[in-house]
Amino acid sequence: MSDEYEATTSRADLRALLGVGRFPGFDQPVDTQLAADSTGLVVRAASDGTREALPMRWGFPPPPTTGARPVTTVRHTGSAYWKAWLAPPQRCVVPATAFCLWTDAAPKRRVWFGRAGEAAPFCFAGLWRPWHGIRGTRAAPVDGDHLLYAFLTTTPNDVVRPVTAKAMPLVLTTAEEIDVWLRAPAKEALGLQRPAGGDRLVVRAEPDAEPR
């Protein structure tokens, strides 16, 4: 998978799609074109049940002995590494308007996907956690407390499979799916880890770049 997505969702989008009632930190800088370690908006259910949108850094700390690169996507939810973060309080949804994937076939190129309709929002099913440590670049490290997120992947659907057979983000587009992901017991919520219906996504842009 390509670790890139676009999020141009507005406050009105977040209210309409997700019922967000609080926006702590909404005036802080966030990225609209996101790569690993970027700061994006994440929606979670607060302790009183109110949904809130706040900035977090994209990428969990990696498991020991696997390097230093942030882990941005989650496929194997049965892994002990992820089980601690599957309870409802640690689940979140990540608003987005597009995501890109590399083609399996050479020459490798990126293809962008989104919903039908320009910049129509959807969500990724995500997990979040607090963490203390150093993030950012070597030139500008940020040492301290961070809120981090990652989102789940699943088997590609009919729209994505011609581009890549490896994986696609777990996309949620309905209020019911979003509510199940944020509130249901883990077994029920993980039942959503299946390909989105082919009518939910379209190719938004043809292959646009050779990898560097």
- Is residue 15 a part of any domain in this protein? yes
CB 53 within 8 A of CB 20: yes
Domain count, the chain: 1
User: Which of 125, 126, 142 shows the shortest CA–CA distance to 134?
Assistant: 142
Handedness of CA 211, 128, 60, 147 (dihedral sign): positive
Distance CA 71, CA 58 (A): 8
Q: What is the CATH number of the domain that holds 135?
A: 3.90.1680.10
**Closest to 172 measured CA to CA, from 66, 77, 99:** 99
Read off the pTM.
0.91
In order of 190, 194, 209, the CA distances from 100 in angstroms are 23, 18, 11
- List pLDDT tens digits, range 132-171: 998 887 788 888 899 999 999 999 999 999 999 999 999 9
pLDDT at 1: 65
Q: How high is the mean pLDDT in each 10-residue block of the chain (212 residues)? A: 84 89 79 92 92 95 80 92 93 95 92 82 95 85 92 94 94 93 96 85 67 38
Flag whether 114 is in a domain.
yes
Cβ within 8 Å of residue 71, ≥6 positions away: 59, 60, 61, 62, 63, 150
- Please report whether residue 31 resides in a domain: yes
Contact 34, 59 (CB under 8 A): no
Q: Report the greatest alpha carbon distance in the chain.
A: 50
pLDDT at res. 206: 58
Q: Is residue 86 part of a domain?
A: yes
Indicate whether 92 belongs to any domain: yes
Residue 210 lies in a domain: no
pLDDT of residue 140: 80
Say if strands 110-114 and 122-136 run parallel, antiparallel, or are unpaired: unpaired
Name the residue range of residue 161's domain.
Answer: 4-205
